[in-house]
Amino acid sequence: MTENNRTTQYSLRNTHHYAIIVAGGSGSRMKSALPKQFLLLNGKPVLMYTIEAFYNCDVQPAIIIVLPADYHAYWQQLCKDHDFRIPHHLVNGGETRFHSVKNGLDLIEDADAVIAIHDAVRPLTDLSTIAYSFRYAEQHGNAIVAVQSRDSIRQLKNTVSTALLRDEIYLVQTPQTFQSALLKEAYRQDYQADFTDDASVVERLGVNIHMIPGNYTNIKITFPEDIAVAEMLLKQKSH
């Protein structure tokens, strides 16, 4: 795990930065008719918080939003209703998260770019974590935000469960940030069911993945109860 020196200043002037925010899912586990990226947190859609975090971080990436094709008009209306003016590019979602990321990547031609991939449904990411992930990936090729397990861990194989070393277990979040040539090469691979995040796609090339520290509050809104938790955390953040 790499030390997150949040006070260090790096020069970003010679590179190009992009954020691909994937919001192409249907949110089946949320059991809501409206996909969870559009649900309201304290009156504002989840996706708007996420875009604001990237817009407000000091790296100032270009922002690409991947949305199901059927929801582009709905999103544009939401932007009008909430007077949401942050500039962003819209791309169609794909069949899985992998295909959605790929659609976003197709928009980026810059071979020297640094690209952060982020779940639209993680609206609580710190600005400093976003900025650090860009800076770390710029220097080391990739940066994956993760937190150490706080619970004891057991692995179940067939019917036998075994304790694992908790200190060796990390829970992976987003953003996951990469130099563009590496990420584009990785996403030229055929889709595999065990590609659950961008790190697993890049790792399949034989590349070493670097974890950087995240926050336990960077939750992914997945189940109905996560909405109440996110609203509470947002209220705490604003005080």
Ligand X SMILES: Nc1ccn([C@@H]2O[C@H](COP(=O)(O)OP(=O)(O)OP(=O)(O)O)[C@@H](O)[C@H]2O)c(=O)n1
Q: Which residues are at the interface with ligand LQXTBERG (CB under 6 A)?
A: 97, 119, 172-174, 196-197, 220
From the list ligand LQXTBERG, ligand X, none, partner contacted by residue 197 (C-beta under 5 to 8 A by kind): ligand LQXTBERG
- Min dist. Cβ of residue 24 to ligand X (A): 3
What's the min distance (Å) between Cβ of 93 and ligand X?
A: 5
C-beta of 28 vs 189, nearer to ligand X: 28
Shortest distance, position 141 Cβ to ligand LQXTBERG, whole Å: 19
Q: Which residues, other chains included, contact 175 with Cβ-Cβ below 8 Å and sequence gap of 6+?
A: 19, 116, 117, 118, 125, 129, 130, 133, 143, 145
Please, what is the minimum distance in Å from the beta carbon of residue 41 to ligand LQXTBERG? 18
Kind plus residue range of the DSSP H or E element containing 142: strand 142-148
- When CB distances to ligand X are compared, the closest residue is 25
Q: Residue 112 burial by CB count (10 A; 0-12/13-18/19+): exposed, middle or buried?
A: exposed
Q: What does the binding site for ligand X look like in residue numbers (CB under 6 A)? A: 22-29, 37, 66, 93-97, 100, 119-121, 220, 222
By C-beta, is 191 or 216 nearer to ligand X?
A: 191
Between CA 231 and CA 145 the distance in angstroms is 22
The partner in contact with residue 196, picked from ligand X, ligand LQXTBERG, none with C-beta cut-offs of 5 to 8 angstroms by kind, is ligand LQXTBERG
Distance CA 53, CA 14 (A): 22
Residue 1 C-beta: closest distance to ligand X, Å: 23
Nearer to ligand LQXTBERG, 85 or 233 (CB): 233
Residue showing the smallest CB distance to ligand LQXTBERG in the complex: 197
Residue 74 Cβ vs ligand X, minimum distance, rounded to whole Å: 14
Task: Please provide the size of the chain in residues.
Answer: 239
Cα 229 from Cα 69, distance rounded (Å): 29
State whether residue 134 is helix, strand or coil.
helix
Q: For ligand LQXTBERG, which is the closer residue by CB, 119 or 226?
A: 119
Nearer to ligand X, 30 or 57 (CB): 30
Q: Is residue 141 within 8 Å of 178, Cβ to Cβ?
A: yes
**Contacting residues for 191 by C-beta, under 8 A, at least 6 apart:** 96, 98, 99
Q: Judged by CB, which is closer to ligand X: 138, or 198?
A: 198
Q: How many CB atoms lie within 10 A of CB 164?
A: 13
